[in-house]
Amino acid sequence: MARSDNPPAERTALRLVPILTLVGIAGLLVTLLLGFEEPHTLLLVVSSFLVVSAPVAIFGHVLFTRHLDSNEKRELIGYFLSRHAAVAIDEYVSSTDRRAGLARLRQITRRQAE
């Protein structure tokens, strides 16, 4: 069984953040479709915060985690800002061992570059 670097509550929170972003996108769509003349301000504000919750939470987690050193954090943020962002975020959120996840991410991007 794989060793887990983070507690269950942390893993659960990281897995819920993308779902909150999808709820935010749905809220923005509802505001767009139903409030085209005068948008519902509270729904617009809450949906906007939910849309940016995933990127902010994941970047915050990367910055404050003690499981990666500064070079690994820098490399991971580089992946987040590259064309491999979707793969990098998926690997980071679903991984139980951050260093092994980063190694898998290196292999994936190396294979795609060939």
Is residue 24 within 8 Å of 51, Cβ to Cβ? yes
Q: Which residue range is the domain that position 12 belongs to?
A: 7-53
Shared domain for 71 and 114, answered yes or no, is: yes
Whether 97 maps to a domain, the answer reads yes
Model pTM above 0.85: no
For the chain, state the CA radius of gyration. Answer: 17
pLDDT in tens, the chain (114 residues): 444 556 677 777 777 888 888 899 998 898 888 877 777 888 888 988 988 888 888 888 888 888 889 999 999 999 999 888 888 888 888 888 888 889 999 998 888 777
Q: How many domains does the chain have?
A: 2
Task: For residue 73, give the H/E element and its range.
Answer: helix 70-80
Annotate 3-45 with three-state secondary structure. CCCCCHHHHHHHHHHHHHHHHHHHHHHHHHHHCCCCCCHHHHH
Amino acid 1: pLDDT: 40
pLDDT, tens only, 51-69: 888 888 888 888 888 888 9
Shared domain for 71 and 38, answered yes or no, is: no
Amino acid 75: pLDDT: 92
Amino acid 2: pLDDT: 46
Whether 30 maps to a domain, the answer reads yes
Distance CA 18, CA 15 (A): 7
The DSSP secondary-structure symbol of 61 reads H
Whether 59 maps to a domain, the answer reads no
